[in-house]
Amino acid sequence: MVLVSVALCTYNGEKFIHKQIDSILSQTYKNIEVVIVDDASTDSTLKVIEQFAKRDARIKYSQNPTNIGFNANFEKAIKFCSGDYVAISDQDDIWLPNKIQALLETIGGNLLVHSNSVFMDESDNILPKYLFHPNNEGILYKIDKNFLFANHVTGHTCLLKRELVDKIIPFPEKCFYDWWIGFVAAYERRIIYKNAVLTKYREHPASVITKYRHHVTQNRYLYYQSEIEIVCNHLEAFSRYQNLSNEDGNFLRKLFKSYKKRKNNYFAFNLFSITYKHFNELFPGNSRKGIRKALFLFKYCRGEKMF
């Protein structure tokens, strides 16, 4: 049996961490190691982890002396993993018992497999909400350009092959680690989606994502400014991926340069031209044509000064 490492990062997660760890240790696939890196929690998270580690030798844990942030912490945790495969875990979810087994059976020759999740609240009540619609068979991975403007991979759903780990480390600065992982796997044409709910994803006010969304949505200008900045950061990182062909590298650098024109401008004209030409690749789920396509792109290419 191959060894599967679970990279679990924690920060002030005392309220739910025991349920997350319980669900990992209860997996039907038993040959696992659980690598936990705590990011300088100020609550009792580390004590909970220590109690689990005393009962199960598969748990290995460490604590950062200072807080380094979730991106850097996940990079650190993944580096500590020694398995043939690495599964990524948040601190407040619940994994279904067959999650690792199902992902292992699906990944095949791919570098990455990801799956669906159903949302739940603070009290473990299931919500009528999914990461992907259950009837959705996943993104069209025949083209990697659909990762350029949006992320389609969520970290906690992922199982990575060791070969992919060597391609993604170190994580680029100012990038969401799972978006970077998804882009690299898609560019290498070795990514697959498991159309099954394998995680109960907890949505609660104290989560990192919820806090961030609440912050940026309070101000319309701040929201669009943040969106533009995030995409710019990722396009710049993608354009520097070491395995890019010359043609793809040139395209990404041109796209990044034109997208940056959304900053401090009313409209990004070059971006409109590029996105119109490559519309089906950049927006594969969008069926707009003719005037509807042009109107969509006119809105998309607006600059910060339009808001």
pLDDT tens column, 41-97: 999 999 999 999 999 999 999 999 999 999 999 999 999 999 999 999 999 999 999
pLDDT > 70: percent of the chain: 93
**By percentage, how much of the chain surpasses pLDDT 90?**
86
Peptide bond into 170 cis (omega under 30): yes
Tens digit of pLDDT for each residue in 149-165? 999 999 999 999 999 99
| Dist. CA 125–CA 144, nearest whole Å | 36
Cα dihedral angle (227, 235, 73, 52), rounded to 10 degrees? 80
Average pLDDT over residues 85-113: 98
**Per-residue pLDDT at 297:** 98
pLDDT grade for 137, boundaries at 50, 70 and 90? low
Domains and CATH numbers, the chain: 4-202 (3.90.550.10), 219-306 (no CATH)
Cβ atoms of residues 241 and 175 within 8 Å: no
- Average pLDDT of the segment spanning 100-123: 98
Q: What is the pLDDT of residue 208?
A: 56
- Could you tell me if 38 and 46 are in contact, meaning their C-beta atoms sit under 8 angstroms apart? yes
Predicted pLDDT at 142: 53
Per-residue pLDDT reduced to its tens digit, 1-49? 999 999 999 999 999 999 999 999 999 999 999 999 999 999 999 999 9
Predicted local confidence at residue 218, as pLDDT? 63
Question: Is 71 strand, coil or helix?
Answer: helix
CA distance 252 to 236: 8
Report pTM: 0.92
pLDDT recorded at residue 213 = 53
